[in-house]
Structure 1
Amino acid sequence: MRTYRPVGGKGRPVAVYVYGLVAACFLGLGFVLQQDAAARAPTADVLSFRLLLDLVRVPRWLLGIASMVVGQLTSAFALMKGHLSTVEPLLATNLLFAMLFARRLSSQRLGWSGWAGVVLLSGGVTAFIVAGRPEGTEYQAGALRHWLVFGTLAGIAVVLVLIARHLELFKEPPLLAAAAGALYGLQDALTRVVGDIYSASGLVGVLLSWQGYTIVGLAVVGLVLVQSAFEGGPLRMSLPSLTAAEPLAGIACGIGFLGDSIRLTPGALAGEVIGLLAVVVGVFILGRHPVLPSGKQHESEAGDAADAPGGGQREAG
């Protein structure tokens, strides 16, 4: 058994919110730039590491990756100072920033549906944090519980990818993005664990732990899934699933084996459930808003594929 101690103190909540929102801003910008570049990549490279080799030659994609890396590093600072169940809902606001940046690529106004999505997403995050009041506790996570949560989320990601492989190319993005979101939630959880290890044993302890290497593996696989989702269709098909899946997976890890606790009174539970539902609904409303890039190139390709023999099915082999 390993004891996971809460990191950060109650006296620094403002820093957690600042880091979380700054991370969401950089992540939103990174996703918009990456999707704009991935939409032009060869469709034959979907779910292949060749896709990354193609995209690495595109300056806009590299800028998007740099922005995402800054966002992930900033989120790591937030995770070191706060609790996973607090930081994850804050990271879900990356969709708001994605819409702000994507608006420059379209000439759309938010309208009533856009503002409704903004209110639901931001209000849901606030409701969950206020109702749940996430806190860290001294908690011993048994190996069985640890691997049960970890294995369940990883298994869900694998199942989503396998299902996507049997669908038409242009129906894959939501499933691939959700799978990436589950892996990113695991990555966030392990980032907090690595922060604990670093505090206790320094860099040597991190280099000798399996968690650090697993973070790298999850990041690479998640990146391939995200770029494949971005390549397969417009941003509105993938970003909502990604944005909704990551916080749900992260909160599951936080409560499941990292020692995060939330209030469980009937009133608190009602507020937490309503908050999370509002976040998910808001994410999907915003994800379908015209402000996000429409991916017209892929929509035309999808129409051509549907008219072609085989109805757009993936080629065997």
Structure 2
Amino acid sequence: MVFAFALSAALCLGFGFVLQQNAAQRAPMSDFLSFRLLLDLVRMPRWLAGLGLMVAGMALGAVALGGGEISLVEPLLATNLLFAMALSRWQTKQPLGLTGWGGLWLLAGGVTAFIVAGRPQGGHSVTDPLRHWLIVGVMIGGALVLAAVSKRLRMSAEAATLAVAAGLLYGVQDALTRVSGERWTHGGLAALIVSWQPYAVLALGVTGLVLVQSAFETAPLRMSLPALTAAQPLAGILCGVGFLGDRLRTSPGALAWQAAGLAAIVVGIVLIGRHPAMPRGLAEERVRDLQPR
């Protein structure tokens, strides 16, 4: 059931990202990195449909995180790019070709290799608050630094940098979602309300949404979605092993296969994300339309 919920979440997220980017690229640039961007986007039916799918994906992902280790669920959620590619390919009628098929098999094979070699198992959450806050602080602080630095970069690099920042926040959000689920299970609604994790989940979700939509607004989906899809599982796995008590096999062979699996996931994500079937940005479409035929 964990696999089913995680893959269903990936499907909703992949479709939702494509619909959101289709709408976000038409938002005014004056709203860049501003919460006003969300106010403009809610007027677009396509973006609302994408947001609805994204929320459904997060809810399904939360169910998967409640039943499985984050080190297991995060690689499965990374397959959202396969579903984004499927929808984009249907929209553009673009064949997969060698690059598309290569990226698909690398991503799927990397997820399989990491899960089989690592055999993620749950354990007791780390009770050391210093370790907990250190990992969360480094992730959130890194995301904020990347968001600040992105303003000085060229547009394509800016989109990728914002997407990495959002991926870090979403990885922490997934970890805190699991903690919130544990509090709900063991203490009920009262224990959940008085804890800080659910409020942090909401704040991280809204902030990550602004970063993602700003990335979608500035450049084609192929510039941002691969970075987002690669950063989120890596951040989630680090949180899972760092303070949630997830255990992975640590024999030399297992570690080698896990490293190879993560590398294959990242390379596959980059190949798929840069495939011609992925939606172009509005500026790119205008340049193409102005070129002589």
TM range (shorter): over 0.9
Contact 1:124 / 1:278 at 8 angstroms: preserved in 2?
yes
Shift of residue 217 of structure 1?
A: 0.2
1:156 matched to 2:168: no
> Number of residues paired by the alignment?
288
- Contact 1:141-1:258 within 8 A present in 2 as well: no
The one-letter amino acid of 1:252's match is L
Matching of residue 272 in structure 1 with residue 258 in structure 2: yes
Q: Secondary structure at the match of 2:222?
A: helix
Q: Work out whether residues 37 and 55 of structure 1, in 8 Å CA contact, stay in contact via their aligned partners in 2.
A: yes
**Correspondent of 2:196 among 210, 216, 240:** 210
Match of 1:231 in 2: 217
- Change in 2 beyond 3 A, CA 1:177/1:302: farther
CA contact (8 A) 2:124 2:244 kept: no
Q: What is aligned with 1:263?
A: 249
- The CA deviation at 1:33 is 0.2
Please tell me whether residue 59 in structure 1 is matched to residue 45 in structure 2: yes
| Secondary structure, counterpart of 2:276 in structure 1 | coil
Q: What is the match of residue 242 of structure 1?
A: 228
Deviations 1:293-313 (A, max 9, x none): 122x2226789xxxxxxxxxx
CA drift of 1:232 comes to: 0.4
Which residue matches 2:83?
A: 97
The AA in structure 1 aligned to 2:117 is A
Q: Of 170, 180, 195, which aligns to 1:184?
A: 170
Provide the rounded CA distance (Å) in 1 between the counterparts of 2:194 and 2:268: 41
Alpha-carbon separation, structure 2, partners of 1:130 and 1:168:
40
Distance 1:205 1:292 in 2: 44
Unmatched runs of 5 consecutive residues or more in structure 1: 1-14, 304-317
Deviations 1:134-164 (A, max 9, x none): 0011243301110111111111101111110
Identity among equivalent positions (%) equals: 57
**CA apart distance, 1:91:** 0.2
Q: How far does residue 203 in structure 1 lie from its aligned partner after superposition? A: 1.1
1:141 maps to what in 2?
A: 127
Superposed CA RMSD in Å reads: 1.2
CA distance in 2, matches of 1:127, 1:170: 31
| 1:47 and 2:26 aligned | no
Aligned to 2:284: 299
1:165 Cα deviation (Å)?
A: 1.4
Q: Call closer, same or farther: CA 1:136–1:30 in 2, change over 3 Å.
A: same
Q: Distance in 2 between matches of 1:30 and 1:300?
A: 21
Extract unaligned runs of 5+ from structure 2.
289-293
SS in 2 for 1:200: helix
Query: Which of 187, 193, 197 is the equivalent residue of 2:183?
Result: 197
